Amino acid sequence: MPLDDFLSEVMGILEAEPDVEQVTVENVKFLRFAEADGAYDRVLRLLGGH
């Protein structure tokens, strides 16, 4: 994700929800919620290149 896109998304989140406790951009949600979604093993394999 290009830095400008990341910063734009973060700033948009903070403007929309100034009291947000955790800023999670779309590109990392599959990592953040992998365990809760039951996709931990698949994501781990993806990151490990297997």
User: How far from the centroid of its chain's Cα atoms is residue 40's Cα?
Assistant: 14
pLDDT band at 49 (very low <50, low <70, confident <90, very high): confident
User: How big is the chain by its Cα radius of gyration, in Å?
Assistant: 13
Collapse the DSSP code of 33 into the 3-class scheme (helix H, G, I; strand E, B; otherwise coil) and give the result: coil
Lookup result for tokens 């734009």? 8
Average pLDDT score over residue span 5-17 = 98
DSSP state of 26: G
pTM over 0.85: no
CA distance 47 to 30: 12
pLDDT tens sequence across 12-42:
999 999 999 999 999 999 999 999 999 999 9
